[in-house]
Amino acid sequence: MYAIDHLDIPPLSGAGGTVRLPGSKSISNRVLLLAALSVGQTDIADLLDSDDTRVMLAALAQLGCRIETETPGPGWLRVHGIGGELPVREGALFLGNAGTAMRPLTAALALLASRHGGKFELSGIPRMHERPIGDLVDALRQLGCPVDCLGQEGYPPLRLGNGAAQALTLDAPIRVRGDVSSQFLTALLLALPLVAQDRPVTIEVVGELISKPYIEITLNLLARFGVPVQREGWSRFIIPAGSRYRSPGQIHVEADASSASYFIALGAIAPPQPGHDGITIEGVGLASIQGDIRFVEAARQMGAEISGEANRLHIRRGAWPLRAVDLDCNHIPDAAMTLAVMALYAEGTTTLRNIASWRVKETDRIAAMATECRKLGAIMEEGDDFLRITPPQGGATAPDSTTHGWQPAAIHTYDDHRVAMCFSLAAFNPGRVRVRIEDPKCVAKTFPDYFETLFDVCEAESGAIPVICIDGPTASGKGTLAAEVARQLGYHLLDSGALYRATALAAQDAGVSLDDEPALARLAAALPLAFRDHRIFLAGRDITDPLRLESTGGMASRVSQYPAVRSALHALQLSFRRLPGLVADGRDMGTVVFPDAPLKVYLTASVAQRAQRRHKQLISKGISASIEDLLADLQVRDARDMNRSTAPLKPAEDALQLDNSELDIEQSVRQVLNWWQGRQQP
Ligand SMILES: Nc1ncnc2c1ncn2[C@@H]1O[C@H](COP(=O)(O)OP(=O)(O)O)[C@@H](O)[C@H]1O
Ligand SMILES: Nc1ccn([C@H]2C[C@H](O)[C@@H](COP(=O)(O)OP(=O)(O)O)O2)c(=O)n1
């Protein structure tokens, strides 16, 4: 996950390959609740691991439900159901911004608290307290459940129950509005079987029910857990008498169809790559029970070529530019946001209709999409329940034909995972303008590794992937600076010195003389290196600690003099240049390996400072050393690195020099990030 302030996505040029997506959020949280309310234990495979499911798991555990992770095996979770009982009678549950936890838990706990005598408080983050829940509260009060809104009437936080058992009014149909959010009906459908032992319970929907596909998921899962609800049209639902949740034993969670929408769009937008035949999505397919699978139809209408099987989809770019559409999106409320970004690549104006529910989601999504698409240069019109998108005006006659009317933009993401995921696709813009995603970690709500998954299948022209080079003499602080800059930008890291150090260790292991250039080059060309969990392995041996020894540094300096060794390591170093960017430290990053890098820093510090820093570093690791010896070694190493014939240590002509003798680590990092910022498009 990119837990950073913002993520700059360079211009993307193509995509191809296979992705496996995380489990569906809607299915995951429903299955968790049903498993918890069932009699018996349920083993769940491929559950989504995200903020929203963590919130649900924590709440269920707090309510006394026992949950075992990695049981019965890796990727599984075992839930021991409480079977309609209430082992914990009081509690305060914090549910973050997870609507799929807040609504059903409100209904289930209101009923359980009334039946058994309990009292619970449910709250969330400030945005959750702005998301209406009044229609569900009204329905629960009709039943006789004590429900108090502790802030504004009709919104969380809520108090459910008053500690005493209540008689519930179950004979009359329970009426609930269906035109604001279908989650209220889902919540009642999931909760009412808990009190339908003696008599059937009927729910009547008032107003036109929106987002029907989500109700279908609910009904499908209820049936899997032993409660077959009778449906009369979309306005009457009857829960049969004698209902009781029974575990199905095992259940697999499909991959998230809404998450699939970004990769379907990717296949429709991205030019195909040689050696790949479009994008393949595993884990969700045409037999999905999720409504958002119908995004496939919308994407086809816009030009995507999509084929598929029960549990897999395959997408290729078809019509290009994409076709503009005028579409009622009521059946795919979440995935339809992706259409707004696809519309930026369409010929003509696209209208997305019947999307009023967007206004009460994680943020006001109509306003958010309009504002952010406008930043990119699109012409946007928004209404209460529609959005109209005219792409940035391209073509050779456009006022600014170099960027085809696209503007570089910093996309604000409103703590809304879908805004962040959608706008990553703007990085294919023909103007090749930079797209910045603010607060990229908000994707953790449903898809923590979204950007990693995206970058795995995307390509950029090599020159388009930014590299920041940090070269300089030993102990100037290159490694420390490079690692922190890479962390803050979310970039990959190349410690090129480690490759020379590993070559020296490999020579030592193999008994190869440090004077035998051809043998050293052969070793370097086939280094069996692996990087795992911040540790480095050479032929399976953990060399993280020996790699950092001063003696290894000295050997590396000798090995690195040989042109044949340097050229043997060249391709390996280039392979680190991957999306979204690279920070590389060494001696010749800016002069030889990445001569086109947009920022090169030559880092120095006085020789006395460097000897002192190295001394401190070694002492802190429990390695004894004398400053005088270190100073002498350092000078020998500097002289050798600077005077060798191939790729000697020297500043690149276009390098910025940074003497950090008087700067601390944080100041050095800030300086480099400021320089980097200055090199970005406005
Ligand atoms: N700007 C700085 N000010 C003070 N100490 C620093 C600074 N930069 C790095 N150091 C410290 O100096 C030591 C050597 O840094 P390192 O990054 O290993 O250098 P290099 O990779 O250039 O050999 C480390 O202990 C590090 O914490
Ligand atoms: N790009 C590079 C990186 C390191 N080397 C050589 C020269 C150095 O003395 C050794 C060890 O490099 P490393 O960066 O790990 O060493 P320091 O941490 O700066 O002491 O490798 C090189 O020749 N070219």
Residue-wise pLDDT for 276-320, tens only, equals 889 999 999 998 999 899 999 999 999 999 999 988 999 999 999
Q: What is the atom index within ligand 2 of the atom nearest the CA of 557?
A: 9
Give distance in angstroms: CA of 606 to centre of ligand 2: 18
The finding on whether 474 has its CB within 6 A of some atom of ligand 1 is yes
Quote the CA–CA distance of 364 and 341 in Å, as a whole number.
Answer: 17
223 with 260, same domain: the answer is: no
Lowest mean pLDDT among 86-95, 206-215, 588-597, 626-635: 206-215
What pLDDT shows up at residue 401? 66
Quote the CA–CA distance of 584 and 506 in Å, as a whole number.
Answer: 22
Listed residues 252, 275, 302: the one ending a domain: 252
Task: Over range 246-275, report the average pLDDT.
Answer: 94
C-beta separation of 682 from 627 below 8 A: no
294 with 222, same domain: the answer is: no
Best mutation site among 474, 480, 609 for ligand 2, i.e. most ligand atoms within 8 A of its Cβ?
A: 474
Any residues with Cβ below 6 Å from ligand 2, and which? Answer: 474-475, 479, 496-498, 500-501, 553, 556-557, 560, 586-589, 637, 641
CA–CA–CA angle 28, 29, 32 (5° rounding): 85
Residue 544 lies in a domain: no
Any binding-site annotation on 590?
no
- Run of H or E residues at 38: none
Give distance in angstroms: CA of 662 to centre of ligand 2: 23
C-beta separation of 457 from 279 below 8 A: yes
Residue 510 lies in a domain: no
Would you call 353 helix, strand, or coil by DSSP? strand
Would you call 53 helix, strand, or coil by DSSP? helix
Give distance in angstroms: CA of 10 to centre of ligand 1: 30
Cβ-proximal residues to 626 (8 Å cutoff; 6+ apart), any chain: none
- Run of H or E residues at 495: strand 492-495
Would you call 381 helix, strand, or coil by DSSP? strand
The finding on whether 475 has its CB within 6 A of some atom of ligand 1 is yes
Any binding-site annotation on 473?
yes
C-beta separation of 385 from 354 below 8 A: yes
Residue 600 lies in a domain: yes
Cβ-proximal residues to 530 (8 Å cutoff; 6+ apart), any chain: 536, 537, 540
Give distance in angstroms: CA of 591 to centre of ligand 1: 22
What pLDDT shows up at residue 396? 42
Quote the CA–CA distance of 184 and 99 in Å, as a whole number.
Answer: 10
Any binding-site annotation on 474?
yes
Cβ-proximal residues to 10 (8 Å cutoff; 6+ apart), any chain: 427, 434, 460, 464, 465, 466, 579, 580, 581
Residue nearest to atom 22 of ligand 2 (CA): 587
C-beta separation of 334 from 418 below 8 A: yes
Bond prior to 321 in cis (omega within 30° of 0): yes
Would you call 372 helix, strand, or coil by DSSP? helix
What pLDDT shows up at residue 534? 84
Quote the CA–CA distance of 672 and 597 in Å, as a whole number.
Answer: 14
Find the ligand nearest to 606 CA: 1
17 with 30, same domain: the answer is: no
Q: What is the atom index within ligand 1 of the atom nearest the CA of 472?
A: 22
C-beta separation of 327 from 302 below 8 A: no
483 with 611, same domain: the answer is: yes
**Position 493 pLDDT exceeds 80:** yes
Task: Over range 235-252, report the average pLDDT.
Answer: 95
Give distance in angstroms: CA of 577 to centre of ligand 2: 19
Residue 541 lies in a domain: no
Confidence of residue 618 (pLDDT cuts 50, 70, 90): confident
What pLDDT shows up at residue 681? 66
Any binding-site annotation on 275?
no
Find the ligand nearest to 605 CA: 1
**CATH number of the domain encompassing residue 201:** 3.65.10.10
Quote the CA–CA distance of 422 and 263 in Å, as a whole number.
Answer: 10
Best mutation site among 641, 642, 644, 650 for ligand 2, i.e. most ligand atoms within 8 A of its Cβ?
A: 641
Lowest mean pLDDT among 268-272, 399-403, 597-601: 399-403
278 with 135, same domain: the answer is: no
Any binding-site annotation on 365?
yes
Name the nearest CA neighbour of 599 among 659, 672, 668, 490.
672
Q: What is the atom index within ligand 1 of the atom nearest the CA of 480?
A: 17
Cβ-proximal residues to 403 (8 Å cutoff; 6+ apart), any chain: 377, 431, 432, 433
Residue nearest to atom 18 of ligand 2 (CA): 474
Listed residues 442, 459, 476: the one ending a domain: 459
Domain count, the chain: 3
317 with 218, same domain: the answer is: no
129 with 155, same domain: the answer is: yes
Asked whether this complex has an ipTM greater than 0.85, the answer is: yes
Residue 271 lies in a domain: yes
Any binding-site annotation on 28?
no
Give distance in angstroms: CA of 477 to centre of ligand 1: 3
81 with 125, same domain: the answer is: yes
Would you call 350 helix, strand, or coil by DSSP? strand
Quote the CA–CA distance of 377 and 396 in Å, as a whole number.
Answer: 16
Cα 538 from chain centroid (whole Å): 31
Find the ligand nearest to 592 CA: 2
Residue nearest to atom 5 of ligand 2 (CA): 497
Any binding-site annotation on 183?
yes
Any binding-site annotation on 131?
yes
Best mutation site among 480, 496, 609 for ligand 2, i.e. most ligand atoms within 8 A of its Cβ?
A: 496
Average pLDDT of the chain, as a whole number: 94
Quote the CA–CA distance of 454 and 17 in Å, as a whole number.
Answer: 10
Listed residues 195, 224, 252: the one ending a domain: 252
Confidence of residue 404 (pLDDT cuts 50, 70, 90): confident
Residue nearest to atom 15 of ligand 2 (CA): 497
Q: What is the atom index within ligand 1 of the atom nearest the CA of 660?
A: 1
C-beta separation of 16 from 275 below 8 A: yes
What pLDDT shows up at residue 399? 55
Task: Over range 663-670, report the average pLDDT.
Answer: 96
201 with 309, same domain: the answer is: no
Quote the CA–CA distance of 343 and 340 in Å, as a whole number.
Answer: 5
Residue-wise pLDDT for 336-366, tens only, equals 999 999 999 999 999 999 999 999 888 999 9
**Position 397 pLDDT exceeds 80:** no
Residue 113 lies in a domain: yes
What pLDDT shows up at residue 533? 85
Instruction: Give the number of residues written for the chain.
Output: 682
Confidence of residue 623 (pLDDT cuts 50, 70, 90): confident
Residue nearest to atom 8 of ligand 2 (CA): 557
Find the ligand nearest to 647 CA: 2
Cβ-proximal residues to 323 (8 Å cutoff; 6+ apart), any chain: 301, 302, 303, 346, 347, 348
Residue-wise pLDDT for 423-448, tens only, equals 999 999 999 999 999 999 999 988 99
Residue nearest to atom 12 of ligand 2 (CA): 497
Full-model pTM: 0.85
C-beta separation of 414 from 443 below 8 A: no
Kindly compute the dihedral angle of the four CA atoms of residues 658, 661, 662, 664, in this order, to the nearest 10 degrees.
Answer: 80
What pLDDT shows up at residue 398? 56
- Run of H or E residues at 260: helix 257-269
Task: Count the alpha carbons within 13 Å of 647 in the hemisphere toward its beta carbon.
Answer: 24
Task: Over range 320-327, report the average pLDDT.
Answer: 97
Residue in 135, 334, 439, 638 annotated catalytic: 334
Confidence of residue 75 (pLDDT cuts 50, 70, 90): confident
Q: Tell me if residue 439 is catalytic.
A: no
Residue nearest to atom 23 of ligand 2 (CA): 560
Confidence of residue 393 (pLDDT cuts 50, 70, 90): confident
Neighbours of 388 (CB within 10 A): 19
Domain span at residue 106 reads 25-252
235 with 271, same domain: the answer is: no
Best mutation site among 480, 666, 670 for ligand 1, i.e. most ligand atoms within 8 A of its Cβ?
A: 480
Q: Which residues pair with 492 in a beta bridge?
A: 582
**Position 524 pLDDT exceeds 80:** yes
136 with 196, same domain: the answer is: yes
Backbone angles phi, psi at 6, to 5 degrees: -155, 160
**CATH number of the domain encompassing residue 610:** 3.40.50.300
Would you give the DSSP letter of residue 589? Answer: I
Neighbours of 541 (CB within 10 A): 11
Residue-wise pLDDT for 498-511, tens only, equals 999 999 999 999 99
Burial class (CB in 10 A: 0-12, 13-18, 19+), 525: middle
Query: Any idea which residue has 């307290």 for tokens?
Result: 129
Per the model's pLDDT, the better-predicted residue between 3 and 589 turns out to be: 589
What pLDDT shows up at residue 360? 85
Name the nearest CA neighbour of 446 among 334, 283, 369.
334
140 with 235, same domain: the answer is: yes
Cα 60 from chain centroid (whole Å): 25
**Position 402 pLDDT exceeds 80:** no
Residue-wise pLDDT for 125-155, tens only, equals 999 999 999 999 999 999 999 999 999 999 9
